[in-house]
Amino acid sequence: MAKLLRVVLIDSLCQGALVEVKVDENTCLTGTNGIGKSTFLKLIPLFFGASAGRMVKGGVNTVRFADHYLPNASSYIVYEYLNHENELRTAILHRSSSGYAYQLLSSGWRPELLYKDQQSGELVLPKDVQRHVAAMGIDCTPELLTLHYRKIIQYNTGSGDLDGVEDVSRKKMITLYRRSYSLAPPKHHFAGIDNLMFSLLESKGTFNSMEAAVGEILQQEVMRSDIDLSGVDAHAFAGAINSRASFLVMERETKPKILQLSQMRNILLGNELQQGRLKSVATRKTAELSAELKKVSDAMTEAREQEVAAKEKSNQKQMEIQNRLGSAVAEAQQLFERVQQIEKQRDSYAAGLAGTLIEIKTLPGLQEELASKKTQLQTLTIQGTDIQSRFASMKEGVKDSITERRERRRAESQIKAREAQKCLDDHNAQAAKAIQQATVSHTAELSAEEALRSKLIEENSRVRLSV
């Protein structure tokens, strides 16, 4: 439940000192007249966004609010509270160029938020607060005017209820900070709580002052200032309160049960939501497994295409080598036949010296050319053999890799599918059991509550008849 927990004064009413007062439970302030009890209590409406002009009125105290409550540059008034989500938050009030300003922190109060060294009493200056707490990993708002602070602390209505705020950037800032720092639950507001708190502090327990407080509450509710409660007397006011006694009794007894049913409903909705999430997870896992299987199939198809392409390329290379080998063999055969022809010519023209010398001179060149062709033929033969062995090795490696990957992916897919199905079956069983138990409990409690309500109505009727 959102509430104020403590008020901390640093170098404020007690100069140079740190004073903490817890206000989350029943708190009693005692002391002699003039010691500062009322002065301290007037700080409570300030937490709810009350104007400082109501704290220090003209003609009563000639000192401004900031000079009275925040006499020094290092003076602070700190409020620790729970927001609408029961999270600890801190509101800081300090001096500024406009007199005073608020800042909100996303944590509970601790001295190191504002002290550089608590033992020596060295404090952080207001202009350095945001940087100081940011170094501690705590979010901090910029300086807020009273209007902006009131719109944050009292309202949690999104971008609504921003009358009086003209700047667009300020409107966005207020809308953002309401989610984390407002006292009111989402889509609600506590408008006028500052005026109510101040009126209650000034009432001092008399009926006239209570009448004024109730009038102010009604004015806040209907946004009218012409409401007059002067015709209401104390007896009529007490009668109006007593007439609600039976309703309050019923509310006191039935409200906890209604809240319990609401909590059980939330648990049931949570189970249904969890079941939906698990179904979504199972659907997503099934889609992922299908995608994995498709990837494996695509990879196998690609590998087959690569294998066919490699085979075609190898066949083409073999054909080229065979063609070149055949050409080399034919050329070698031609050269060999030519050598034979030259040898025959040498034998035929042995008688002619000049012709013989010419043939002898050409013979070594032809022999060298023949040896070169034989060497080229051997090289081409070796290359062809190497290409064939590499192709065979590549073919075996691709075949083994595809088979292994396909079996591994298939095993992983089967395991994941079994795990997802088991998780879904377990959760469905738990959800069905929880729904059955909640239904039985809900039916029994509704019957008991209906009987109690009938009994209360009968008792109320008897009381009215006796009157």
- Rounded distance, CA 302 to CA 400, Å? 15
- Rounded distance, CA 281 to CA 193, Å? 47
Bigger pLDDT: 82 or 228? 82
pLDDT given at position 351? 63
Identical fold for domains 3-203 and 249-466, yes or no, is no
pLDDT tens-place string over residues 400-428? 777 888 888 888 888 888 887 888 888 77
Written as six digits, the tokens of 63 are 């000192």
Q: How many CB atoms lie within 10 A of CB 74?
A: 19
Cα distances (angstroms) measured from residue 360 to each of 164, 336, 349, 350, 357: 121, 16, 12, 11, 5
pLDDT tens-place string over residues 364-407? 777 788 888 888 888 888 887 888 788 778 878 777 777 888 88
Query: What count of residues does the chain have?
Result: 467
Residue 355 CB-density burial (10 A; 0-12 exposed, 13-18 middle, 19+ buried)? middle
pLDDT tens-place string over residues 230-281? 444 444 445 544 444 444 555 566 667 777 777 787 788 778 778 888 888 8
pLDDT tens-place string over residues 76-124? 999 999 999 999 999 999 998 878 899 999 999 999 999 988 888 889 9
Closest to 65 (Cα-Cα) out of 83, 79, 45 = 45
Most confident of 43-57, 312-326, 383-397: 312-326
Q: Are 27 and 53 in contact (CB under 8 A)?
A: no
Which of 25-29, 46-50, 101-105, 167-171 is predicted least confidently? 25-29
Task: Give yes or no for residue 66 having a pLDDT over 80.
Answer: no
pLDDT tens-place string over residues 176-224? 999 999 999 999 988 888 887 777 776 654 545 555 555 555 454 444 4
The highest-level CATH class for domain 3-203 is: alpha beta
Q: Are 301 and 294 in contact (CB under 8 A)?
A: no
Q: What percent of the chain has pLDDT over 70?
A: 83
**Model-level pTM greater than 0.85?**
no
One of 1.10.287, 1.10.1740, 2.30.30, 1.10.3470 is the CATH number of 249-466, namely: 1.10.287
Which of 167-176, 208-217, 441-450 is predicted least confidently? 208-217
Q: Are 394 and 311 in contact (CB under 8 A)?
A: no
Tell me what the mean pLDDT of segment 24-43 comes to. Answer: 79
Which of 27-31, 174-178, 351-355, 443-447 is predicted least confidently? 351-355
Domain boundaries of the chain, sorted by first residue: 3-203, 249-466
- Rounded distance, CA 2 to CA 24, Å? 10
Closest to 23 (Cα-Cα) out of 70, 75, 79, 76 = 79
